Amino acid sequence: MSANHASVDPHKLADKDGHFRRVASTFRDSVSSDPSAPFPAEKNRYVLYICYGCPWAHRANIVRSLKGLEDIVQLVVMGNELTSDGWLYDGKHGSAARDPLYGFTSHSQLYLKADPEYKGRYTVPTLWDKKKETIVNNESAEIIRMFYSAFDELLPPELREVNKPGGGYYPEKFRKDIDSMNEWVYDTVNNGVYKCGFATSQEAYDANVVALFESLDRLEKHMEEHGTKYLWGEHITDSDIRLYTTLVRFDVAYVTIFKCNYKQIRYDYPHLHKWLQALYWEENVETKGAFKQTTHFVPIKEGYSMATGQKIVPYGPKYPIMPLGPETR
């Protein structure tokens, strides 16, 4: 256990008033397509560290697959147990038994290799530079934006952002709409489920669970009124990727483990449910099978159970995600 984190209980994340407040990410550099940049795009130079249970890491893993970066950016998967030393390596559920680069057994060791004086939390996703042996970035929103285009010169033309139908994953024509939606979805949905699950006072829980379902109602209305397959049209955008990793965990983990049990996606939000099923089940030029292939329900349930200090992992639901019906196909 590292000295700087020895007194931190990873399961007690709320402030004294009972509210959970997420701490901003620390490493905020960028990979660039410019060969003269501090972190230029190069094949086999960077490593993406994730754990399957984390929705923030899941975003980056989806984009890595959507963009065809599997042979360019190495992937390292850790186990589901969160400790004061961060995520541990355990070799379970497709994770690595040890860090393949350095033989580390916990994620804290990577952070402290980058900065021996680091005193924050050891979070994922983490983008590592093997050449400089440091962390480039640990903010999921910024990592996925890098992945959209920074490595495009190393990819075939059809995978480059400029050639993607609809203007790419962050299209100029929807950019203001995407940014606006991302802001309130992050606060009340992506992070909102954590504000509910980690709340330690009734007041904090009540305030955040109401805000969560008001935003889900708003998203359902958006899908109904727009009548499109995805949030901003017939092509997947940044907003779809960010929302998916929360909603695919909702009925499976957040309803029970995080007490977000007022409604369920599959029963109470027909348009969002149809959207979710399409992203997960369909394998076409839009999804490329990336959403299903990167979704691992056992680590999700186990990870959240352990993160909240629970020893029992919920048995259900029978279907982690409902099978496609005729109306969805």
| Single-letter amino acid code for the residue at 7 | S
Catalytically annotated residues: 54
CA-to-CA separations, 125 to 47, 60, 136, in angstroms, rounded: 10, 7, 11
pLDDT in tens, 110-153: 999 999 999 999 999 999 999 999 999 999 999 999 999 999 99
Q: What is the pLDDT of residues 184-212, one digit of tens each?
A: 999 999 999 999 999 999 999 999 999 99
Contact in structure between 239 and 231 (CB atoms under 8 Å):
yes
Q: Is the per-residue pLDDT at 226 higher than 90? A: yes
For residue 49, what pLDDT is reported? 98
The C-alpha atoms of residue 329 and residue 317 are separated, in whole angstroms, by 23
Ramachandran class of 254: left when φ > 0, alpha when ψ lies in -120 to 50, beta otherwise: alpha
Query: CB-based contacts of 7: which residues, under 8 Å, 6+ apart?
Result: 84
39-57 tens-digit pLDDT = 999 999 999 999 999 999 9
Distances (CA, A) of 266 to 206, 257, 276, 282, 304: 23, 17, 9, 17, 20
Q: In what order do the strands lie in the sheet with 46-51?
A: 73-78, 46-51, 126-129, 134-137
pLDDT score of 326: 63
* pTM exceeds cut of 0.75: yes
Which ranges of the chain does DSSP label H, i.e. alpha helix?
55-66, 107-114, 140-149, 175-185, 192-197, 202-226, 238-249, 265-268, 270-281, 290-293, 297-307
> Per residue in 270-298, pLDDT tens?
999 999 999 999 999 999 999 999 999 99
DSSP-assigned letters across all residues of 273-320? HHHHHHHHH--STTTTTHHHHT--HHHHHHHHHHHTT-SPPP---S-S
* Structural tokens at position 284: 């076409």
